[in-house]
């Protein structure tokens, strides 16, 4: 008997969702049940978004900054305490009243090779070297402990980019198993990615290796059978837009879709070509002993609300049941073609 991936959905910068109702409608039509909306601050209409999503059977996980892309020293107790207080204030003032189904966080130093704001020797050792895994545990641990004390029932999701973590991800095996790790941006030995598919499908146009598959397996088994694990699959047309406002209801989605058409055509070609590799990766996730498994797509910049593009539907079909032949998955996805 084969395993399955329990939840699938979307991870997105909320600032790049131009019509959130259509975005959620298309998720619902596609059988998705989870959306992560990442903002610097909770959007003013967060209660309406949550209500509409929940009505469609979609849970909303709110993401916000826990020092990502900010000048920090991961070895500084002072910096950890400062961010602990910022996070507790944000939760109290912006998120508590939403009764969030989950909070997703990103800590500084994981996305890129990390430069400590103080240039301290302990942080410097991680830069371009082993990665920030153990410093992450120390820094994030201070914030997590305080949040869990204040909100024991709150479900937390740790967004981990491997750009600054590298092989030191093993240090995260000591992270509380109640916290779901969402893995993303996973670089391999050749600058591009050991674990597909982080940035774009074309750039990773090499066959998936046994090393890649083993790394996915180790990530799924990192904390044993009590762990929830999630992966974010990127490589679909998108544009960083975290600082922008959301809810541009009148935005001309058709114009935007035309701008991106060439990228979608390329994504279609490469997603079909890499489908056997994607299926291998999803089979490992589905069959892993982790308690709950989630895979999210990143499709944004007005594109998912315009239509359910075929490449995204193709990969979604692969996630829904990876134990099929590629031809069967392609056949299933084509029935939705650009609807
Ligand atoms: Zn430092």
**What is the average pLDDT across 3-24?**
89
Residue 33 pLDDT > 80: yes
Ligand 1 centroid – CA 175 distance (Å): 21
Ligand 1 centroid – CA 79 distance (Å): 10
- Residue 236 CA to residue 187 CA, distance in Å, equals 17
Ligand 1 ion: nearby residues, β-carbon < 5 Å: 73, 75, 116, 118, 120, 123
**Residue 18 Cα to chain centre, angstroms:** 19
CB 198 within 8 A of CB 175: no
Instruction: Find the range with the poorest average confidence among 9-23, 135-149, 196-210.
Output: 196-210
Extents of the domains making up the chain: 7-334
Ligand 1 centroid – CA 106 distance (Å): 18
- Residue 195 CA to residue 183 CA, distance in Å, equals 10
pLDDT bin (cut points 50, 70, 90) of residue 190 is very low
**What is the average pLDDT across 250-254?**
71
- Residue 296 CA to residue 275 CA, distance in Å, equals 16
Ligand 1 centroid – CA 110 distance (Å): 14
Ligand 1 centroid – CA 138 distance (Å): 12
Question: Coil, helix or strand for 274?
Answer: helix
Ligand 1 centroid – CA 135 distance (Å): 9
Ligand 1 centroid – CA 134 distance (Å): 12
User: How much is the pLDDT for 192?
Assistant: 42
Ligand 1 centroid – CA 126 distance (Å): 10
Annotation: CATH topology of 7-334: TIM Barrel (3.20.20)
Ligand 1 centroid – CA 184 distance (Å): 24
Residue 311 pLDDT > 50: yes
Ligand 1 centroid – CA 73 distance (Å): 4
User: How much is the pLDDT for 225?
Assistant: 84
Ligand 1 centroid – CA 117 distance (Å): 6
Work out whether strand 228-233 and strand 7-13 pair parallel, antiparallel, or are unpaired.
unpaired
- Residue 28 CA to residue 9 CA, distance in Å, equals 9
Residue 327 pLDDT > 90: yes
User: How much is the pLDDT for 193?
Assistant: 46
Instruction: Find the range with the poorest average confidence among 44-58, 138-152, 213-227.
Output: 213-227
User: How much is the pLDDT for 175?
Assistant: 94
DSSP state string for 111-178: SSS---TT--HHHHTIIIII-SHHHHHHHHHHHHHHHHHH-TT--EEEEEESTTTGGGGGGGGGS-TT
**What is the average pLDDT across 243-264?**
70
pLDDT tens digits, 105-163: 999 888 777 789 999 999 988 877 778 999 999 999 999 999 999 999 999 999 998 77
Ligand 1 centroid – CA 125 distance (Å): 9
- Residue 197 CA to residue 216 CA, distance in Å, equals 12
User: How much is the pLDDT for 150?
Assistant: 97
Q: Which residue has the higher pLDDT, 66 or 267?
A: 66
For tokens 């779901």, what's the residue? 180
Residue 62 pLDDT > 70: yes
pLDDT tens digits, 223-233: 988 889 999 98
> How high is the mean pLDDT of the chain?
86
E strand residue ranges, the chain: 7-13, 34-38, 59-65, 103-106, 156-161, 180-184, 228-233, 292-297
């Amino acid at each position: 008997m084969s395993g399955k991936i329990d939840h699938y959905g979307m991870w997105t910068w909320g600032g790049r969702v131009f019509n959130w109702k259509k975005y959620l409608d298309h998720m619902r039509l596609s059988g998705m049940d989870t959306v992560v909306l990442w903002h610097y601050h909770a959007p003013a209409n967060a209660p309406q978004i949550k209500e509409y999503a929940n009505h469609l059977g979609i849970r909303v996980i709110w993401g916000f900054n826990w020092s990502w892309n900010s000048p920090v020293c991961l070895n500084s107790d002072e910096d950890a305490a400062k961010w602990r207080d910022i996070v507790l204030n944000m939760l109290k003032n912006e998120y508590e009243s939403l009764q969030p189904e989950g909070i997703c966080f990103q800590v500084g130093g994981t996305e890129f090779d990390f430069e400590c704001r103080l240039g301290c020797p302990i942080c410097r050792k991680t830069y371009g070297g082993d990665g920030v895994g153990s410093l992450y545990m120390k820094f994030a641990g201070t914030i997590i402990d305080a949040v869990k004390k204040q909100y024991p029932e709150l479900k937390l999701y740790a967004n981990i980019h491997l750009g600054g973590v590298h092989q030191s991800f093993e240090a995260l095996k000591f992270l509380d198993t109640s916290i779901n790790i969402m893995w993303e941006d996973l670089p391999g030995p050749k600058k591009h990615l050991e674990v597909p598919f982080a940035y774009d499908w074309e750039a990773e146009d090499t066959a998936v290796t046994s090393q890649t598959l083993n790394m996915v397996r180790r990530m799924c088994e990192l904390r044993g059978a009590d762990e929830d694990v999630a992966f974010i699959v990127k490589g679909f047309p998108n544009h960083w837009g975290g600082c922008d406002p959301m809810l541009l209801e009148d935005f001309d989605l058709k114009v935007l879709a035309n701008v991106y058409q060439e990228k979608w055509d390329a994504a279609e070609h490469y997603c079909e070509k890499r489908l056997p590799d994607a299926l291998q990766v999803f089979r490992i996730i589905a069959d892993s002993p982790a308690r709950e498994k989630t895979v999210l797509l990143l499709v944004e910049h007005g594109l998912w609300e315009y239509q359910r593009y075929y490449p995204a539907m193709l990969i979604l079909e692969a996630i829904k049941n990876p134990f099929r032949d590629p031809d069967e998955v392609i056949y299933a996805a084509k029935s939705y073609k650009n609807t």
